[in-house]
Chain A
Amino acid sequence: MSERPARPTKLPLGLLLALPVLVTVGALIVVPYVNIVIMSFRTPSTTRPYAPGFTIDNYARALTDSFYLELLGDTVRLAVMITALCLVIAYPAAYHLARTTSRWRGVLYALVLSPLLVGVVIRSFGWIILLANNGLINQMLRALELPALPLMYNEFGVVLALVHVFLPFMVLPLMGAIQGIDPRLEEAARSLGASRTKVFRRVVLPLSMPGVQSGCILVFVLSCGAYVTPALLGAGRVHTLTTEVVTMLDQFLWPRGAALALILASAGLIAVWLWAHFSGRTMRGLA
C-alpha cells in the first residue's frame, strides 16, 4: 500500500487558484514593463512613437544632461525631505497610538487611517484652498496686515501636501514596531536610573528601528513616484522626474520618457528590494 500518491489533488488545484493572478499580473505588469524597457532603447521621433533602430542614447542623455541630472537630484532631495519630515512628525503620534490605553484609541486609529480613504486629488485640493496666493492662510495674514507668503507653486507647498498624503504610511509601521516593544523594557530602563529621554534614545528608538526602516522606505518610494500632488501644487513651477516624464509623453518623446521613468523606478526598486528584506509586516499592518 505504499504506491498511494500523497494528496493527489494538490498540485492541479493549486495552480488553478494561482492562474488568474499569474495571467493578470503577467499581461498587465510583466509584459508592459518588459515592453517599456525595450522602448527605452528605441530611437526617439517626434512624429511617431519611435523611429527604427536601437540606441542607448536615451539613458546616456538622461544621465549626462545637467537638466535631467538636476531633476533627478531634485526628485530624490524632495523625497528625502518628505521622508525625514514624515518620520519626525509621525513618531510621537505612533508612540502615543501604540501605548495609549485611552478608550479613544479606536477613534484615533481611525483618524490616522481616514486620509487613506480620501483620494489624493481631494487632499491636494484642501491644501490648495489653504495655501493659494489668495487662499485662507494668506487671507488671514492680510487681515492681520502681515505680508502674504508664497505658499503654493513652490517646493514648500508640494512638500507639505506630500507629507500629509504619506503620513499614514509612516505612522502604521512605526506603531506596529513600537507595539512590539514590551513596555516593561522601558520600566526596567527607568528603574535602572535612565531619564525619559535616555530611555527613548537607548531603548525605544533602537528597538523600533525595523518600523523606522519600513516606514522610511515606503514613504521614500511613494514620494519618488508621486505625480498628482506635484502637478497640482507645483502647477508647472515645481519639476520632478514624474512631471517631466508626463510632459515628454505629451510631446511624443516616448523612448526618452521611458528611459527617464525607468531610471526613476530603479531608484525606487532598489528601495523596494530593501523593503522586501525587512519582511512583509508593513503592508500587513496596512491591511
Chain B
Amino acid sequence: MTRLSIEALEKRFDAVRAIAGIDMEVAQGEFVALLGPSGCGKTTTLRCIAGFESPSAGTICFDGDDVTGLPPEKRDIGMVFQNYALFPHMTVNGNLAFGLEMRDIAAGEVQRRIAEVLGLVQLDGLGERYPRQLSGGQQQRVALARALVIHPKLLLLDEPLANLDAKLRDEMRFFIRGLQKRIGITAIYVTHDQAEAMVMSDRIVVMFDGIIHQLGTAEDVYDRPATRAVASFIGLSNFFEGTFSGQVGVHYGLDTALGRIGCGAGFALTPGQKATAMIRPEAIGLASAVPNGAAAFQGTVAERYFLGNLADYRIKMADGSVLQVQQPATASFAPGAVVHVILPADRAWLVRERAP
C-alpha cells in the first residue's frame, strides 16, 4: 500500500513529447485509470512509473521516497503487460516463483504464497501447466497473480484486458477490481476503454497529447468534464457556443444562437467572455406541449432511431443546429413532429477549449 506522487513528469523521444508535464497524486489503496486516445502517452507514463523509461524531467515518488533514478527491479512493483509476457519456458509455478526467488524468499514460503495467490485468482491445480497450455483468460490471471504474489508496493496494468473477448473482459473487470479492493493495493490501470475506466476506478486521469485534461471520479468526468476533449471522448455530448452573460444563483447564463441557457461551471468567467457549454443527450428533455416553468426551445424531430431501451432523436433547432437527444423508448415522437426541448441548467456544464 503506497502513495504515488508524480511531479512535472516529462518524456521526450527525440522530437516527440510523449508526456508534456504531468502532475498527479494517487492515494494509498486507490485504483486510478489512465484513459485517453491512442498515442496520448498512457503507456509511456506507466513505463516511467515502472522504471522502464527514464523521464526527461520530473520526479516520481513512492510514499514520498524519490524513485526516479531507480531501475525497475529496485522499485518493488507488480506489472501486468498487455500480452501478459508470461515466461514461455516456465510453468505457472515457475512464473509465480520467479519474483519470489529474486527476493530470496525461503522455499516453504514460496510454496505457501503460490498456493495462496493461485486460490486468489481461482487457478488452483494449474500450477504445472505451461503458459501455452492455458486459455487467454487463464494466462491473464496468471499474469495478474505473478504481479501480486510478490506483494508489490504498486500494481501497474497496461491494457490487460485488450486481448480478451467481450464477455470475459466484462467478468475480468469486476474480478480485478474486487481483488484490488480485497488486497488494498494501490493500482494504476491503463486503458482506452471509457466504460472500463468508469466501472473499475476510484478516479480517472483523462489524457490527451501528453497532458492531463482532468483527474476525477467517473461522475466528475462524465457530468462535469473539464474540457471539450474530455466531454467528446467520454460519452455523447451536445455543445453550445455562446457568450457569458452573468451568474444567476449557482447557474451561469450563456447567450447562444438558440437563446439564453443556464449551466454549471467549474471555473470563473467574466461577462462578455466566450464560452462553450455541453449537455448529455439523455439529460435533455422533450415535451409535446410547452412545459410549465422551464425554459424550452422549439425544434422539429428530424430522425428517430430505436436503441431498445432508448430512442435516439436528432432534433432540428430554429438556428439550424441539430441536437442529439436520448429518451426512454416508451415516449415516442414521430419524425416531423414539433417538440419542445428542455435544457436543464443543472445538467448543462461549461467546458474549456484547452486543458487548464
Question: Do A and B come into direct contact in the complex, CB within 8 Å?
Answer: yes
A interface residues with partner B (beta carbon < 8 Å): 1-2, 4, 6-7
Check if B54 is an interface residue, CB within 8 A of chain A: yes
B6 to chain A, nearest CB (A): 13
Residues of A within 8 A of B69 (CB): 1, 4
Chain A, Cβ-Cβ closest to B57: A2
Q: Are B54 and A1 in contact (CB under 8 A)?
A: no
Check if B324 is an interface residue, CB within 8 A of chain A: no
B59 to chain A, nearest CB (A): 5
Q: Are A7 and B54 in contact (CB under 8 A)?
A: yes
Residues of B within 8 A of A1 (CB): 59, 66, 68-69
A6–B68 Cα distance when bound, in Å, is 11
B18 to chain A, nearest CB (A): 15
Residues of A within 8 A of B59 (CB): 1
Residues of A within 8 A of B54 (CB): 4, 6-7
User: Can you list 10 pairs linking A and B with CB atoms under 8 Å apart?
Assistant: A1-B59, A1-B66, A1-B68, A1-B69, A2-B57, A4-B54, A4-B68, A4-B69, A6-B54, A7-B54
Chain A, Cβ-Cβ closest to B53: A6
Residues of B within 8 A of A7 (CB): 54
A2–B66 Cα distance when bound, in Å, is 11
Residues of A within 8 A of B57 (CB): 2
Chain B, Cβ-Cβ closest to A2: B57
Chain A, Cβ-Cβ closest to B71: A7
Main secondary structure of the interface of A (DSSP, over half): loop
Chain A, Cβ-Cβ closest to B55: A2
Beta-carbon contacts under 8 Å, B53-97 to A: 54, 57, 59, 66, 68-69
Chain A, Cβ-Cβ closest to B56: A2
A6–B11 Cα distance when bound, in Å, is 12
Residues of A within 8 A of B66 (CB): 1
A11 to chain B, nearest CB (A): 15
Chain B, Cβ-Cβ closest to A7: B54
A69 to chain B, nearest CB (A): 52
B87 to chain A, nearest CB (A): 22
Chain A, Cβ-Cβ closest to B68: A1
A13 to chain B, nearest CB (A): 14
A86 to chain B, nearest CB (A): 39
Chain B, Cβ-Cβ closest to A8: B71
Ranked 7 nearest A-B pairs via Cβ: A4-B69, A6-B54, A1-B68, A1-B59, A1-B66, A1-B69, A2-B57
Of A1, A4, A7, chain B has the most CB atoms within 10 Å of the CB of A1
A173–B122 Cα distance when bound, in Å, is 48
B272 to chain A, nearest CB (A): 44
B246 to chain A, nearest CB (A): 47
A9 to chain B, nearest CB (A): 10
Chain B, Cβ-Cβ closest to A3: B69
Residues of A within 8 A of B68 (CB): 1, 4
A114–B300 Cα distance when bound, in Å, is 77
A6 to chain B, nearest CB (A): 5
A128–B301 Cα distance when bound, in Å, is 90
A102–B57 Cα distance when bound, in Å, is 58
A2–B56 Cα distance when bound, in Å, is 8
A114–B69 Cα distance when bound, in Å, is 53
Chain B, Cβ-Cβ closest to A4: B69
A71–B56 Cα distance when bound, in Å, is 62
Residues of B within 8 A of A4 (CB): 54, 68-69
A4–B70 Cα distance when bound, in Å, is 9
Having A2-B57, A4-B54, A4-B69, one finds 7 other A-B pairs with CB under 8 Å, namely: A1-B59, A1-B66, A1-B68, A1-B69, A4-B68, A6-B54, A7-B54
A262 to chain B, nearest CB (A): 41
Residues of B within 8 A of A6 (CB): 54
A273–B182 Cα distance when bound, in Å, is 62
A194 to chain B, nearest CB (A): 39
B68 to chain A, nearest CB (A): 5
Residues of B within 8 A of A2 (CB): 57
A5 to chain B, nearest CB (A): 9
